[in-house]
Amino acid sequence: PIVAEAVKILAIKDVYQKNKIKRNYEAFIDGVGQPDSEKLYEKLSNGSGIDEECAEVIFDTIVTSIKPLKAKILGQLIVGLANGKLNVSEYKTLAYIIHSCSIPALLALEKYYQNNNSSVKNMSARLENEGLLISLGVATRQVNKFRIDELGEKLAKYGMKSEYNKKINKD
For residue 128, the SS3 value is coil
SS (H, E, C) 13-29: HHHHHHHHHHHHHHHHH
Per-residue pLDDT, 170: 47
Per-residue pLDDT, 150: 93
Q: CATH 1.10.10 residue ranges in the chain?
A: 102-171
Cβ-Cβ contacts under 8 Å for 9 (sequence gap 6 or more): none
Per-residue pLDDT, 61: 92
Note the pTM of the prediction, 2 decimals. 0.81
Per-residue pLDDT, 98: 95
Asked if 162 and 114 count as a contact pair (C-beta separation under 8 A), the reply is yes
Amino acid at 94: L
pLDDT in tens, the chain (171 residues): 788 888 888 888 888 889 999 999 999 988 888 665 666 766 666 566 677 788 888 899 999 999 999 999 999 998 888 888 988 899 999 999 999 999 999 999 998 888 877 777 777 777 888 899 999 999 988 888 888 999 999 999 999 875 445 554 444
Among 1.10.10, 1.10.3470, 1.10.150, 1.20.1260, name the CATH number for the domain at 102-171: 1.10.10
Per-residue pLDDT, 83: 82
